[in-house]
Amino acid sequence: MTAMRFLVSGKVQGVWFRAGTREQAHALGLRGYARNLPDGRVEVLAVGEPGAIEALQRWLHHGPPMARVDSVEAQETTVDELALGAQFGAD
């Protein structure tokens, strides 16, 4: 199992980016969350199989149709950084 933290920059708030991320994550069988940050970025924490996380990362580079992604920073992290039972859900 792999855990990754992504910081997505660009026009990623107010364009259904988190909702799209949740849909992709559910389809890929990932656990974690996506949340808006005060600086305008979206933070995504994902835990699951490496191939599923790679697929999510590819999706994050373009996001939903109304988004404009300028950059995606990726950092491997530990599962311990996720709250126990964290799920891609509404926040």
Q: How far is CA 70 from its chain centroid? A: 15
Place of tokens 């790679």: 54
| Options 5, 22, 36, 58, the catalytic residue | 36
> Which helix (H) or strand (E) element contains residue 68?
strand 68-76
| Options 18, 22, 31, 41, the catalytic residue | 18
Q: Residue 15 contacts by C-beta under 8 Å, 6 or more apart in sequence?
A: 63, 64, 66, 67
* Residue 18 annotated among the catalytic residues of the structure: yes
- Point out the residues that are catalytic: 18, 36
